Structure 1
Amino acid sequence: MSAPADSTPVVIAARRTPIGTAGGALRGHTVDALAAPVLAALARDTGSADVDDVLLGNVFGPGGNPARVAALAAGLGDGVPGMTVDRQCASGLSAILAAAAAVRAGEGTLYLAGGAESPSTAPVRTRSDGTSYTRAPFAPAGDPDPDMGPAADDVAARAGLTRGRLDAFAARSHARAVAARDAGRFDAETVGIGGIAIDERPRDRFTPARLARFRPAFTDGGVHTAANSCGVNDGAAAVALVPERRRRELGVPGLALVSAATRGCPPADLGLGAVPALAALRERPAAPDAVEFTEAFAGQVLACLDAAGIDEQRVSPDGGAIALGHPWGASGAVLVVRLFHRLVVQGRGETGLAALSSGGGLGVATSWRVVR
């Protein structure tokens, strides 16, 4: 593979908060309060406060551009703008791709991009008539617009996935996350906040036999349970992006963006959006050293992996969202943080994929490789 061009976007630092359970350890932290320590840590890691922009994904926050508020709270200066992105669960990864596009266009040389989510402090949503609602529609009125849990059950059924395979996948995610945590593999990427330093959700002794005791959570006879699905979680994650020429000047290793694709599918198939996105990647390694895929629901992930021809054993090598949690606006950025620390910091491979499906029938996929 040829050397990256001078304008190729490269991640040179990546950080995240611990991921907390909604209503749990991070319940007192708003979206901007979660993101600010991550942004401040990235500024320290890069040795520069000369940030061109801050782009953060967020889904259920208060509005008012939390990216700008977080940038100010991080002490980046009044001159640093901010933009908040909402592509539902793909928001954090889409924010990174928006920053990457700015790098390629030559608009700046240092961007901080990622996402943050705080369901614990999210406002209650009400209409003008006083009725409340939990989410905005993903499709026009009258079109199929299933909730994510029932849609995941439908996707799994059509893909012929068994409950046993889903529970085995979920148990492996927890086991890998616990092993990584105990080995200290999350330490360098995690920014402690409010006295919290480790992820709240991973559980040891979560065997397939134990997971088999859980009842279906979404549909009668469905295969998804509270144990083989993600949680509702608080957290933030972001990366520092520079052009390749600046990375060389700094003399640091990085994770270069090789290819990216964003695609759609029918909203009724909302769990399968990653499939066309992965197929559209311009360059994709045949056997990537690591694959990070947001584990919203075990069956939805497995259906995507099977359709894309990706070995499930390569996915979430240190555990995924089923174990770590799924802070919606941040989850896509967590994928890249995990890839950066595994491949660049820990030196465990050279190539990686980060991908996910998102509400509304959307999918985002990215391909990365280490540069030194």
Structure 2
Amino acid sequence: MSPAVVVDAVRTPSGRGKPGGALSGVHPADLLATTLTALLERTGVDPARIDDVIAGCVGQAGDQATNVARTALLTAGYPESVPATTVDRQCGSAQQALHFAAQGVMSGAYDVVVAGGVESMSRVPLGFPGREGKPFAPLAGRYPEGLVGQGVSAEIIAGRWKLGRLELDEFAARSHELAAARAAAGDFAREIVPVGGVTADETIRPGTTAEQLGGLRPSFRDDGLAERFPEIGWHITPGNSSPLTDGASAALVTSEAKAAELGLTPRARLTGFAVTGSDPLLMLTGVIPATQRLLDRTGLTIDDIDAFEVNEAFAPVPLVWARELGVDLAKVNPRGGAIALGHPMGASGTRILATLISHLEATGGRRGVITMCEGGGMANATLVELVR
């Protein structure tokens, strides 16, 4: 099969996903359209050559309803002949869009395709599972004790792996420190597409310390769960969780042969894919088997990978992942993660792709892995190899 390559990957800045946030006044279709337009401007690709646009979005309601990928495509001025679809694999939606795009290219179904995603969490707020409606009600027969939301899952994981509050807050402070340093050095400039007058991530907080974060109250405390989950220490706060975020991202994917034909210079190859289900109660641990499955399929080991991007939905996720797989944290989220850079859920997969490619290029690395925990107990993992 023809290898799939990434010609370019871009993202908007991350805006705080609440009223008054830097991007809260921008319609989500316009956010995604900004990245779709940027790909054309940066690569010079004729949009009529694009076979499909696949975009992730989790909150497909309100301003993000009715196939927001198609709305964004038309907003960006792409020809009406170019189709689009919106996919939902929870937080891994854009990463799944990337997998679908690459697999379509590798199978010969596509020549040129755009993968990306969008989430405006200020306009379509994140609904805590069970707070509005009963999304888990049909599962009562299989899980009679009931499932819980992601925040409580993070608490359970922190408790079972004996992660204390200080360790979580220190990791969160590290995320801000790394991201702030890279932002100050201009290292995000290549991947960020300005939106209006917004040119930098609003979610980074320079100077954040573990001591400061230690003063925040737990977000998900529910003493009614204490008997069921005695291991919970109630350590998850806004400071060691990813913030609600507005943003979009997109990548242009094609085959090596088509890139050569069109005079394009690929930046990376997509050479391995995995997706797995996991315990929906501990829904955030799927990154562990997904990464292992990816390595098994590609015949690689942890030592063959130069950098890992493990989405920081909550601080316990990358910490538990690194512990279970024996990974040095110095190789994990080296430019900061979602705690600092934000987590616009439907867009995070290709946002992380853009950041990883930039890091490998800057450091002379060869291979990187992206993995993302997902609601309902799932995870994707992707192997990215730099084109030299």
| TM-score relative to the length of structure 1 | 0.92
236, 240, 251: which one aligns with 1:239: 251
Equivalent residue number for residue 279 of structure 1? 292
Q: What RMSD over aligned residues (CA atoms) do the two structures have, in Å? A: 2.0
Once the two structures are superposed, the pairs formed by residues 127-138 of structure 1 within 5 Å of their partners are 133=132, 136-137=135-136
Equivalent residue number for residue 120 of structure 1? 122
What is the DSSP-based 3-state SS (H/G/I as helix, E as strand, rest coil) of the residue aligned with 1:323? helix
Equivalent residue number for residue 327 of structure 1? 344
What is the DSSP-based 3-state SS (H/G/I as helix, E as strand, rest coil) of the residue aligned with 2:122? helix
1:206-239: CA deviations, max 9, x gaps? Answer: 1122222222221264121110111111000111
Amino acid at match of 1:263: T
Equivalent residue number for residue 371 of structure 2? 355
255, 264, 267: which one aligns with 1:254: 267
32, 35, 38: which one aligns with 1:38: 35
Give 4+ residue runs of structure 1 displaced > 6 Å after superposition: none
Once the two structures are superposed, the pairs formed by residues 77-88 of structure 1 within 5 Å of their partners are 77-88=79-90
Structure 1 residues 138 and 122, CA, compared in 2 at 3 Å: closer, same or farther?
farther
Range that drifts further, 110-119 or 45-54: 45-54
Confirm or deny: 8 A CA contact 1:285 1:351 kept in the other structure: no
Residue 28 of structure 1, CA deviation: 1.4
294, 315, 327: which one aligns with 1:298: 315
Once the two structures are superposed, the pairs formed by residues 49-64 of structure 1 within 5 Å of their partners are 49=47, 50-62=49-61, 63-64=65-66
Equivalent residue number for residue 203 of structure 1? 205
- Output the CA distance in 2 between the equivalents of 1:225 and 1:279: 29
Residue 110 of structure 1, CA deviation: 1.1
Confirm or deny: 8 A CA contact 1:11 1:340 kept in the other structure: no
What is the DSSP-based 3-state SS (H/G/I as helix, E as strand, rest coil) of the residue aligned with 2:238? coil
Range that drifts further, 76-85 or 200-209: 200-209
Residue 135 of structure 1, CA deviation: 8.2
Residue 329 of structure 1, CA deviation: 0.5
Structure 1 residues 253 and 187, CA, compared in 2 at 3 Å: closer, same or farther?
same
- Output the CA distance in 2 between the equivalents of 1:243 and 1:138: 44
Equivalent residue number for residue 25 of structure 1? 22
Q: How many residues align?
A: 361
Amino acid at match of 2:32: A
59, 74, 77: which one aligns with 1:75: 77
- Output the CA distance in 2 between the equivalents of 1:135 and 1:202: 34
What is the DSSP-based 3-state SS (H/G/I as helix, E as strand, rest coil) of the residue aligned with 1:29? coil
7, 17, 20: which one aligns with 1:12: 7
1:176-232: CA deviations, max 9, x gaps? Answer: 110111110111111111211110011111112222222222126412111011111
Equivalent residue number for residue 167 of structure 1? 169
What is the DSSP-based 3-state SS (H/G/I as helix, E as strand, rest coil) of the residue aligned with 2:348? helix
Equivalent residue number for residue 128 of structure 1? none
Confirm or deny: 8 A CA contact 2:43 2:264 kept in the other structure: no
- Output the CA distance in 2 between the equivalents of 1:210 and 1:233: 21
Once the two structures are superposed, the pairs formed by residues 210-221 of structure 1 within 5 Å of their partners are 210-219=212-221, 221=233
2:237 equivalent to 1:225? yes
Confirm or deny: 8 A CA contact 2:112 2:253 kept in the other structure: yes
- Output the CA distance in 2 between the equivalents of 1:40 and 1:347: 28
Confirm or deny: 8 A CA contact 1:138 1:360 kept in the other structure: no
Structure 1 residues 30 and 201, CA, compared in 2 at 3 Å: closer, same or farther?
same
What is the DSSP-based 3-state SS (H/G/I as helix, E as strand, rest coil) of the residue aligned with 2:78? coil
Structure 1 residues 232 and 12, CA, compared in 2 at 3 Å: closer, same or farther?
same
Q: Percent identity?
A: 39
Equivalent residue number for residue 370 of structure 1? 386
Equivalent residue number for residue 314 of structure 1? 331
What is the DSSP-based 3-state SS (H/G/I as helix, E as strand, rest coil) of the residue aligned with 2:193? coil
Residue 139 of structure 1, CA deviation: 7.0
2:360 equivalent to 1:343? yes
Equivalent residue number for residue 139 of structure 2? 140
Amino acid at match of 2:327: I
| TM-score relative to the length of structure 2 | 0.88
Confirm or deny: 8 A CA contact 1:234 1:327 kept in the other structure: yes
1:302-321: CA deviations, max 9, x gaps? Answer: 11221222222211111110
What is the DSSP-based 3-state SS (H/G/I as helix, E as strand, rest coil) of the residue aligned with 1:189? coil
Confirm or deny: 8 A CA contact 1:17 1:237 kept in the other structure: yes
Confirm or deny: 8 A CA contact 1:15 1:337 kept in the other structure: yes
Structure 1 residues 276 and 122, CA, compared in 2 at 3 Å: closer, same or farther?
same
Confirm or deny: 8 A CA contact 1:138 1:359 kept in the other structure: no
Unmatched segments (≥5 aa) in structure 1: 126-130
Confirm or deny: 8 A CA contact 2:5 2:266 kept in the other structure: no
Confirm or deny: 8 A CA contact 1:61 1:117 kept in the other structure: no
Confirm or deny: 8 A CA contact 2:59 2:126 kept in the other structure: no
Amino acid at match of 1:56: A
